Every structure is written in C-alpha cells, then in structure tokens.
Amino acid sequence: MTEHLLSLMTFFPILGLLVILFIPKENEGLLKGFALVVTLITFVISLPLAFNDSFKTSAAMHYKEFAQWITIGDYFQMNYHVGVDGISLWLVLLTTFIMPIAILSTWKAVDKNVKAFMALCLLLETAMLGAFVSLDLFLFYIFWELMLIPMYFLIGIWGGGNRIYAAVKFFIYTAVGSLLMLVAIIFIYYYGVRSGVALNGFNITEFYQMGIPPHIQTWLFLAFAFSFAIKVPMFPLHTWLPDAHTEAPTAGSVILAAILLKMGTYGYVRFAMPLFPDATQQFIPFLSVLAVIGIIYGALVAMMQDDVKKLVAYSSVSHLGFVMLGIFALNMQGMAGGMIQMVNHGISTGALFLIVGFIYERRHTREIKEFGGLAKTMPIFATIFMIITFSSIGLPGTNGFVGEFLILMGAFQSELRWFAVFATTGVIFAAVYMLWMFQRVMFGEVKNPANEKLKDLSAREIVMMLPLLLFVFWIGLYPNTFFEKMNPSMQQLLDQVKGQQQVAVVEKVEPRQLHGH
Amino acid sequence: MDNTLVQLAMQSVNFGAIMPSLVLVCFGMFLLLVNVFSPRGKTTHVAWISIIALVISGIVSLSAWTPAGTPAGAGNTQFGFAGAVALDNFATFFNITFLLAAGLTILMSDEYLKREGYPIGEYYPLILFTTAGAMWMASGIDLMTIFLGLEVLSISLYVLAGFFRGQVRSNEAGLKYFLLGAFSTAFLLYGIALLYGVAGTTNVAEMGLYFAKNSAILGNPMTIAGMLLLATGFLFKIAAVPFHMWTPDVYQGAPTPVTAFMSAGPKAAAFAAFIRVFVFGLAGLQAEWTSLLWVLAVLTMTVGNLMAIYQTNIKRMLAYSSIAHAGYAMVGMVAANEIGLSGILFYMLAYTFMNLGAFAILVLAGREGEENLTLEGFAGFGFKRPFLGIAMTIFLFSLMGIPPTAGFAGKFYIFAGALKAGYVWLVVIGVLNSALSLYYYLRVMVTMYFREPSEDFAWVKMHAGAVVSIVLAIIGVFYMGIIPGAVMEMAKLAIF
C-alpha cells in the first residue's frame, strides 16, 4: 500500500473522473456529491504523509516510486519517478485539503454544466498533485502543462463577464513561460549527456549534481525563472492574475490562489534555485527588487479597488512577493517563512475567496460600496471574516504572522536588509487595505435595503470554513508541527544553493530559536 | 532484343519491392471497372473495397519491416528495378502513414460525398493512386522513381482538388494546384537534370558515393543550382514559405476530406523524398542546405502562424496552420541527426492523426455547400455536440503541442534533435511559434465552449465512417502521446 501511496493519491481523482463521465448530467446533486467524496477520499489517502515522522530527521525523498516510462533506444529515457520530501509535503497536503472545500463551494454557485465542472476539477487535482510529487523534470512538465487545460475551461465556461479574455490571457501567459522552460529542460539533458554524466532519465536529483558552468546556468535559470515568475506571479508578469481571479468562479479562484500560484514558488525552490545555484546568487538582487516592488505595488493597487475580489487578487501579488523575498534570503528563517507563507496564503486567501463567494451568491455584486453594516445582519459571517482578515494581515496568533515575521527576520539577517525595510511597509499597507475594506463592508449602518435581509452562513458554509480556521490558529500558535518536518529538506536545499563552504560560515539556527516568538 | 539483356532486366525487377503500391494500383484499376458496372450514386461498396485494399497493402508493407536486432543483411528490405526502389524500414514507416491517412480519409468521405451531391465512385481509386504515388516517393532511391511517384501523386490530387466540378471554389482549387504544381515539377526535373549532369547518375545512393569521392565538385555552381532546384520542388509540395501561396486557396476550395488527405499524406511523401535525397544523396552539401532550411523553417513557422491568426474560416485556418506544422518538421531536417529525422517521421504520423481527426469533425459539422465552417458557425458547438466537441478539443490541444498528446511528443523529439545538434535559437523560435499558435487554436475552443449556442446543430448527422475515423484518431493521438516509445523506436529503426 505505502509503496504506491503517491500514485494512488495522484491518480485517484482521475479514477473518479472516469466514473463521473457515466453519471447522467441531469443528476447534479449526485455529481457534486460524488466529486466531493472523491476529493475527500484523496485527502484521506494523503493523510499518512502528515503523520510520518521520518520527515523530521531525513531530507530524503519519501514514498519514492520509480518505473520506466518512455525509453527510446539511446535517445531518451523518461521515467515515472515520484516522491515527497519536506518541501513538497505540506503543499501536497494543502492541495488534497483545499480540493474538497473548493468542491463544497460549488454547491449553489455552479448550476450549469455541473458534470463538466466536476470532471475538470478532478483532472486539475491530479495535475497539481502530479506536479508536486514529480522527481523527473519531464514528468513534471507534463503535469505542469496539464494543469493549464482544466483551469482554462473553468475560467472560460463558468467565469464572469470578461471570462474569455481572462481565460485566453491566463493560458497564453503560462504556456509561453513553460515552453521556454521546456527548451531549457531538454538543453540540460543534453548538457548532461555531452559531459558524460550517467543520466537515468530527467531525474532532478542527478541534475542537481551536474555542475553546470555559470555562464550556461544564467540562460537556463532565466528560462526557468521566467516560467515560474509568470506563475507566482511576480511583478511585472502579474497582469494575468487579477483578470483570471476576478472572472473565475469561486471554486476556480480558490484553487488558483491556494494551489496554482504555489506552483511558481515551488518551482523556484525545487528546480530553479538548486539546479542553477550560481545563477541564483547572481540574480537574487534583481529578483528581490521585483519581489519588493510586487509587495508594495500589489498592496497599493489593492487599496484602490472597488471590487472585493480584485482587492483579494492584488493582495495575492503582495503576499507572494513576501514568499519570494523569504526564499531569496537564503537562510533558514527566510526559507522557513517563505515555505510556511505558501501554506498560509493558500489557507487565508483561499478562505477570502470563499468569503467573497458567500456575499456574491447573496447579492450578486462584489462592489464594496454596495455593502456596509453586514456585521449586524450576519454575525457568524462577520466573526469568521474578521479572523481571516487578521490572518491575512498577519496578526500575532494567526498563521500570517508566523510567515511574515520569519520572512522579514530572514531578510534582515541576509544581504537583503534594505529590501526588508521596504517590504515591511507592505505589512502596514496590508493592514490598511484589509481593515479599510472590512470596515466598509461589515461596519456602520445598513444603508442598502438589499442588505437588510441577508441570511447568515448556512451549515454547509460554516463546515467549509471551520477546517481553514483550525489551521489559521494551529499554524499561528504552534507552527512547529509544520516546521519540524520541513527543516531537514530546507537545510539540504540551502546547502545546495549556497555550496558547502559558505554554509559552514552561516550560524546554525536552532529550531527553538526559529519558532520561539 | 538480346535475350540475355531481357533476362538481366527481369532479374533485377523484383515486384516485391513495390508490392504495397502494386496492390493499391491493381485495386484502383479494378475499382474503376467496378464503377462502370455500378448503378449511379452507389459508392459505398467502392469505399469498402478500397479500405480492403489499404489493409492488404498495409499487411504487405509491414511484412517488409526489419525489427531491431536483426543482423545486417538478414533483414526484410527488398530492392528492385536495378536499385531504383527500396522497400526498407524508412519506406515502410511512411507507407503506414500514407495508408492511415488514406484510410481515415475514405472513412469520412462516403456520406460526405453523398451530402454534397457528388457520389462518384472514381473518388476512391484516385485516392488509391495518390497513395501509390506517395509510396514510390518514399521508397524511391532513384530521382526518376521519386519524380514518377510525385507525378502520379500530383495528377491524382489535381483531380481530387477539383472534384466538385460544379463549384467555382473547387475548380479554382484544382486549377491553381495544377498550374503551380506543374510549374514546380519543372523545377524539380531541371534540378534532377543538373545533378545528373554533375554526378552522371540519378541514383541517390550512387550520387552520395560519387560526391563523397569527388568532393571538389560539390562547390560547382551546377551542383548548387541542382540542389536548389530540387529543394524548390520538394518545398512546394510541403508548402514551405515562400512556396506556400497555393495552400490556403487549394485547401479551402478542395472537398474537406481531400484537404485533410492533402495536408497529411502528400506532405509526408514530400518529406520522405526530401530526407532520402538530401540527407543521403546530398550529404556533402549539408552545410549549404541546412543554412537554407534554417531560414526557411523560421519563415514557414512564423508566416504560417501569423496568417492563421487572421483567419475566420476554420478550414482556411487549418490550411495556414499546416504550413506552420511543415515548418516545425523542417526544424528536424535542419538538425539532420538521428533524433531530428526520426522526429519528422513520428511527427508526420502524429500530424496525420490529429489533423485528419480535426478535419473529420469539420466534415461532420459542415452543412451542404460548406457555408458554415466559419469560426462563428461553431458557437456553442461543444455543449450541443459533446462528443465532437471533446474530440475537437483533443485534436486542437495536440496541434498546439500540449501534453499528453501526440503533437507534444512529436514536437518534443524534433526540438530535442535540433537542440542536440546545437540549434538553440532555432528551437527558441520554434517554441515561441508554438506559443503564437495557441491563440488561434484556443479561439476555436473559445467559440465552441465559451459562447452561447446560436443554433442547435441538428443537421449534424453522426455517420459511422466519420465517427470511426475520429475514434481511431483519438486513440492514435493518445497512444503516441502517452506511450510514444514504441512508435518512436520504429521511427528510429526507419532512419538507418
């Protein structure tokens, strides 16, 4: 069982998809229920990962599976090669965790072509999980591209008014980036072949040790970095994100924000940085500038939005700027902050999109000025919204604080000190735009008569939010559960990126010190 | 005549070397006779007999396949006609491609011809003759055989393109193709003449040996001119820029199944001859022709994609996209190494599946007179006709080169070959072109799925032949996309 755990988890949604194809499309309740059950079972399958304690001591890949897939004489070998380590662990679990919630959010929101919607969601889940567990670059690329197709249709068919523009823009932006990455992938392979490295497929652990000369690394890094920067998205490649988010249906936005954006940051951590350490060092100042611009620019633009969903979308640009800054600090604090902030952003921004979905389903508008005083009519909603807002701002006690604090601490201790100074203003701006929005939507008198009779959250909606709230506080109060399983892998990653000699100089960070705030 | 000479000639004839095409030609002539005695308007039996012919020809072709690990000299390769024809793995691989293209075309044609009001039985023998011509191009190792094949192929295609003789468009297609085609054949012939003048032989293998021994003569203007003229002839057939002008009009005007066939079969045949002559016969001039093809590949990809963006008629759009696809395949020619060349073979087969599949849907979705193959005519098609919508989506994703489809695998091998040979920039231009092509392929999906249906598409009748060809194409696209190993292994064996 455990030796095929990852395959079972990755392809279980596809099995569900095959069954869904035979459910008549009129039977919408059954379709939704079945998709929910499939995603829940997938989550259960993935649970053993969370309880495996060997992640605490070993940076190695766990649950490895290997099978020869395409072998063409002496041309090529591509393998089915998957595994999980501390870096992908929580992202995999985040994916299986968010998917049932996203499916639940469609209960009332999706009423046309339910069958196609569910089928695409399940296909998307397989693609995302596959991308996170791939240890073969070619396999990763297949899953990476496969993610595009369902998301394109989710935005294009079930999206808002400007959905076609948003869907096409999303597809073309991401595909352009990944095509250049493909060239780089093939190039690395041939570089390995030419320099006589014994390659067993597009195995990334072998690619790590290839020792590509710096001048070649520069170009390869640029191809990878460009592709991932689009996905993150980093300023100035972020313009597809607000469009895609605003037009996507709630479930689409949740998946996009919570998981798909992590593909970009994960790509940096797993591929771009350890594969090309010299180029990474070379480009960190440049990329950090972009990250900081993203933090401040995203926050400022978010502040000026009239549409709640657009505000949340731009806040993602800002939050992911933080993640990038933490990763580029190249020390344990920054890396830990960046990694945990990926999960945090998935939880709190996912929750924010759900919240936007709640009020949109009730009022069919997302304009901030249409609301006001909702706290009186919807007290439960107000409480939950409040907590999530705090989490997004990074109030101590919530998950956002842990991530942002570690990122800024890491950046201050590294060469990125001045970047951290500017980035800190982003935290302040975040408080401004979130609290201002919250105040305008929730407090004051109910001026708009349409808001007077709004129903508070239903049991289903509360059920969706509770698990998210649980993790807001869990990560906020006892993040060690999560860090202790990431530490060995992060340490190994930093060693790879910085090279052994430099690591010796860097002071060793005690786990206690890391989490003791 | 001297008796011994006749005997000598007979010895080297070896009909085994042309058996696959011989089957097709015999069946074709038999079917012409059958047509004479068939009642007017009844063509279904002709279609089925031609399918049988294709299957027999396929079995005969495959019997000539030499599997991996066969010791040298023990293979099934057959030579014939004094070394003018070879039925080797290379020819066999292409033969299978041609046969598949012809088979899928015939499957989708029968009901279509009836709907459009041209249930004429001669259509099927003409496709068989075209296929036979294509086979001679692939198995010809003498320039004269290749020329003969090209002529048989072309003349049958001219007739097929103008098959709807009552329609102005179809007539225009036939005439345009004929005039320009004849012109380009003259170039080819002139090239053959010049090369014969230099090397004293029209046999590709002997020519290669001659040039290897007398490399000084390679720089002779006559050799270069011969090579250029020969390239012109082939480039015309694969519709490479700047010899692509005929493509959109001919593709749009010709009956849809004929367009489908033209975009796959004859194009593959031209590539087969192109590879055989240039890589094996003119290897000495490789530096010259790779730099020429480098430029033309870039132009072909870019012009094809840019023009496709502006099209509102899907058939015409696919015509321009087929120009772009020829450009991708030319990248493999530029690489001229094992992976790049076997990549072309793989790509041609993949393209046969995905493009014929897409055309089969156009065949079904077209109304009588084909007035509604515009982009707008497809609004909401995907939800009204779920099966055809999904199938079209699969073919379009394959044409884009998105995994896990055959189109992705094909592009991957071709680009990998070029990267291995060191053409990084060519590959970068190639993938950027792929990105460009996303726009117009996505637009079809946008209209199919993202727009409200304006009609109920009730006229779309699913007839068995076309559905079978669509299903076969889907299987092909996924088989070659998910487990491409077996086909690629064959393509690799076909190159040497």
| Same domain membership, residue A332 and residue A193 | no
Distance, CA of A388 to CA of A345 (rounded, Å): 11
Tell whether the model's pLDDT for residue A83 goes beyond 80: yes
Q: A64, A83 in Cβ contact below 8 A?
A: yes
Cis peptide before B453 (omega within 30 of 0): no
Q: A367, A451 in Cβ contact below 8 A?
A: no
pLDDT-derived band of residue A58, with 50, 70 and 90 as boundaries?
A: confident
Contacts of B363 (CB under 8 A, 6+ apart): B108, B109, B112, B256, B257, B260, B466
Q: B455 — phi, psi (to 5°)?
A: -135, 175
Tell whether the model's pLDDT for residue B191 goes beyond 90: yes
pLDDT-derived band of residue A516, with 50, 70 and 90 as boundaries?
A: very low
A145 touching chain B per CB within 8 A: yes
Instruction: Give contacts of B434 with chain A, Cβ < 8 Å.
Output: 179
State the DSSP H helix or E strand holding residue A72, giving kind and residue range, or none if neither: strand A62-72
Question: Is A493 inside any structural domain?
Answer: no
Q: What does each C-alpha distance from B112 to B8, B156, B256 come to in angstroms?
A: 49, 19, 9
B415 touching chain A per CB within 8 A: yes
Tell whether the model's pLDDT for residue B3 goes beyond 70: no
- Please state the separation of Cα B14 from the chain's center in Å: 27
Q: What is the pLDDT of residue A508?
A: 43
Contacts of B153 (CB under 8 A, 6+ apart): B130, B133, B134, B137, B266, B269
Among A275, A303, A322, where does a domain finish? Answer: A275
When scoring B412, B424, B448 by the number of chain A Cβ atoms within 10 A, the one with the most, hence best to mutate, is B412
DSSP one-letter string for A290-350 = HHHHHHHHHHHHHHT-SBHHHHHHHHHHHHHHHHHHHHHT-SHHHHHHHHHHHHHHHHHHH
Q: B86, B14 in Cβ contact below 8 A?
A: no
- Please state the separation of Cα A464 from the chain's center in Å: 19
Q: What is the pLDDT of residue A505?
A: 40
Q: What is the pLDDT of residue A233?
A: 86
Angle at CA of residue A369, ends A366 and A373, nearest 5°: 95
Q: Calculate mean pLDDT across residues B185-211.
A: 91
Tell whether the model's pLDDT for residue A74 goes beyond 80: no
Among A226, A242, A275, where does a domain finish? Answer: A275
Tell whether the model's pLDDT for residue B74 goes beyond 80: no
Q: Calculate mean pLDDT across residues A468-474.
A: 91
Cβ separation of B489 and A72 shorter than 8 Å?
Answer: yes
Would you call B76 exposed, middle or buried from its count of C-beta atoms within 10 A (0-12, 13-18, 19+)? Answer: middle
Question: Is A368 inside any structural domain?
Answer: yes
Tell whether the model's pLDDT for residue B1 goes beyond 50: no
| Rg, chain B, Cα only | 22
Cβ separation of B446 and A70 shorter than 8 Å?
Answer: no
Partner residue opposite B435 with nearest CB, options A71, A172, A190: A172
Give per-residue pLDDT as tens, B245-287. 899 889 988 999 999 999 998 999 999 999 999 998 888 888 8
Q: What is the pLDDT of residue A498?
A: 82
Would you call A204 exposed, middle or buried from its count of C-beta atoms within 10 A (0-12, 13-18, 19+)? Answer: buried
Question: Is A502 inside any structural domain?
Answer: no
Q: What is the pLDDT of residue A193?
A: 80
Q: Which of A340, A342, A356 is nearest to A388 (CA)?
A: A356
Q: A53 — phi, psi (to 5°)?
A: -80, -10
Q: B86, B17 in Cβ contact below 8 A?
A: yes
Q: Calculate mean pLDDT across residues A302-308.
A: 89
Question: SS3 for B451?
Answer: coil
DSSP one-letter string for B49-93 = HHHHHHHHHHHHHHHT---TTPPTT-S--EEETTTTEEE-HHHHH
Distance, CA of A256 to CA of A154 (rounded, Å): 10
Contacts of A364 (CB under 8 A, 6+ apart): none
| Same domain membership, residue A383 and residue A447 | yes
B390 touching chain A per CB within 8 A: no
Would you call A8 exposed, middle or buried from its count of C-beta atoms within 10 A (0-12, 13-18, 19+)? Answer: middle
Q: How crowded is the C-beta side of B178, counted as CA atoms within 13 Å?
A: 15
CA dihedral B52, B55, B56, B57 (to 10 degrees): 120
| Same domain membership, residue A151 and residue A239 | yes
pLDDT-derived band of residue B6, with 50, 70 and 90 as boundaries?
A: low
Question: Is A206 inside any structural domain?
Answer: yes
Cβ separation of B431 and A183 shorter than 8 Å?
Answer: yes
A18 touching chain B per CB within 8 A: no
| Same domain membership, residue A289 and residue A266 | no
Cβ separation of A142 and B404 shorter than 8 Å?
Answer: yes
Cβ separation of B434 and A179 shorter than 8 Å?
Answer: yes
Partner residue opposite B449 with nearest CB, options A69, A156, A182: A156
Cβ separation of A167 and B339 shorter than 8 Å?
Answer: no
Q: B102, B51 in Cβ contact below 8 A?
A: no
Structure tokens at A397: 């006690």
Distance, CA of A432 to CA of A315 (rounded, Å): 11
Q: Which residues pair with B86 in a beta bridge?
A: B79
Please state whether B369 falls in left (phi above 0), alpha (psi between -120 and 50) or beta: left
Distance, CA of A470 to CA of B61 (rounded, Å): 67
Cβ separation of B424 and A153 shorter than 8 Å?
Answer: no
* Complex confidence, ipTM: 0.85
Cβ separation of A72 and B432 shorter than 8 Å?
Answer: no
Q: Which of residues 179-218 of A touch B (CB under 8 A)?
A: 179-180, 182-183, 186-187, 189-190
Tell whether the model's pLDDT for residue B9 goes beyond 70: no
Cβ separation of A164 and B450 shorter than 8 Å?
Answer: yes
**Of A177 and B430, the one with more pLDDT:** B430
Q: What does each C-alpha distance from A325 to A288, A291, A334 come to in angstroms?
A: 6, 6, 8
Instruction: Give contacts of B397 with chain A, Cβ < 8 Å.
Output: 149
Q: A312, A360 in Cβ contact below 8 A?
A: no
Give per-residue pLDDT as tens, A380-430. 888 999 999 999 988 888 998 999 999 999 998 888 888 888 888 888 998
Taking one residue from A and the other from B, the number of pairs with CB-CB distance under 8 angstroms is 90
Query: What integer best gives the mean pLDDT of chain B?
Result: 89
Give per-residue pLDDT as tens, B349-363. 999 999 999 999 998
Question: Is A309 inside any structural domain?
Answer: yes
Residue of A nearest to B451 (CA): A157
B428 touching chain A per CB within 8 A: yes
Give per-residue pLDDT as tens, B202-226. 999 889 899 888 888 888 899 999 9
Give per-residue pLDDT as tens, B402-424. 888 999 999 999 998 998 888 98
Query: What integer best gives the mean pLDDT of chain A?
Result: 86
CA distance A180 to chain B (A): 7
Partner residue opposite A164 with nearest CB, options B432, B446, B489: B446
| Same domain membership, residue A349 and residue A249 | no
Distance, CA of B233 to CA of B184 (rounded, Å): 5
| Same domain membership, residue A391 and residue A317 | yes
Instruction: Give contacts of B449 with chain A, Cβ < 8 Å.
Output: 153, 156-157
| Same domain membership, residue A440 and residue A397 | yes
Q: Are strands A76-84 and A62-72 parallel, antiparallel or unpaired?
A: antiparallel
Instruction: Give contacts of B428 with chain A, Cβ < 8 Å.
Output: 180, 183
Q: Which residue has the tokens 């992590």?
A: A262
What are all long-range contacts of A433-436, with beta carbons under 8 Å and residues at least 24 apart?
A433/A299, A433/A302, A433/A303, A433/A311, A433/A315, A434/A315, A434/A389, A434/A392, A434/A393, A435/A389, A435/A393, A436/A303
Percent of chain A at pLDDT exceeding 70: 96
CA distance B440 to chain A (A): 10
Distance, CA of B376 to CA of B388 (rounded, Å): 17
Percent of chain A at pLDDT exceeding 90: 28
Q: Which of residues 450-489 of B touch A (CB under 8 A)?
A: 450-451, 483-485, 488-489
Domain span including residue A39: 1-275
Question: Is A461 inside any structural domain?
Answer: yes
Q: What is the pLDDT of residue B156?
A: 93
Partner residue opposite A73 with nearest CB, options B451, B484, B492: B492
Residue of B nearest to A179 (CA): B431
Instruction: Give contacts of A189 with chain B, Cβ < 8 Å.
Output: 416
For residue B451, how many other CB atoms are within 10 A of its CB?
18
Cβ separation of B489 and A156 shorter than 8 Å?
Answer: no
Partner residue opposite B442 with nearest CB, options A75, A171, A179: A171
Tell whether the model's pLDDT for residue A102 goes beyond 80: yes
Cβ separation of A71 and B438 shorter than 8 Å?
Answer: no
Q: Which of A58, A59, A77, A57 is nearest to A67 (CA)?
A: A77
| Same domain membership, residue A378 and residue A233 | no
Q: What does each C-alpha distance from B132 to B34, B98, B234, B238, B337 come to in angstroms?
A: 19, 9, 18, 18, 28
Cβ separation of A183 and B339 shorter than 8 Å?
Answer: no
Instruction: Give contacts of A175 with chain B, Cβ < 8 Å.
Output: 402, 435, 438
**Of A512 and A346, the one with more pLDDT:** A346
| Same domain membership, residue A131 and residue A99 | yes
Q: Which residue has the tokens 């060349």?
A: B341
CA distance A90 to chain B (A): 27
CA distance A401 to chain B (A): 40
Give per-residue pLDDT as tens, B358-402. 999 998 888 776 566 788 888 888 888 888 999 999 999 999 988
CA distance A418 to chain B (A): 37
Instruction: Give contacts of B413 with chain A, Cβ < 8 Å.
Output: 75
Find the range with the poorest average confidence among A451-455, B21-25, B431-435. A451-455
Among A275, A299, A314, where does a domain finish? Answer: A275
DSSP one-letter string for A401-451 = HHHHHHHHHHHHHSTTHHHHHHHHHHHHHHHHHHHHHHHHHHSS---SGGG
Q: What is the pLDDT of residue A241?
A: 86
Question: Is A173 inside any structural domain?
Answer: yes
CA distance A21 to chain B (A): 12
Q: Which of residues 109-138 of A touch B (CB under 8 A)?
A: 113
Tell whether the model's pLDDT for residue A378 goes beyond 90: no
Cis peptide before A488 (omega within 30 of 0): no
The conformation of residue A134, written as its DSSP 8-state character, comes to B
| Same domain membership, residue A453 and residue A329 | yes
| Same domain membership, residue A139 and residue A20 | yes
| Same domain membership, residue A354 and residue A228 | no
Q: Which residue has the tokens 């009129």?
A: A26
Find the range with the poorest average confidence among A239-243, A274-278, A497-501. A497-501
Q: A245 — phi, psi (to 5°)?
A: -65, -45
Tell whether the model's pLDDT for residue B4 goes beyond 80: no
Contacts of B284 (CB under 8 A, 6+ apart): B208, B211, B212, B215, B218
Q: Calculate mean pLDDT across residues A68-80.
A: 78
Question: Is A506 inside any structural domain?
Answer: no
Q: B481, B410 in Cβ contact below 8 A?
A: no
Give per-residue pLDDT as tens, B131-160. 999 999 999 999 999 999 999 999 999 999
Q: What is the pLDDT of residue A70?
A: 80
- Total structural domains within chain A: 2
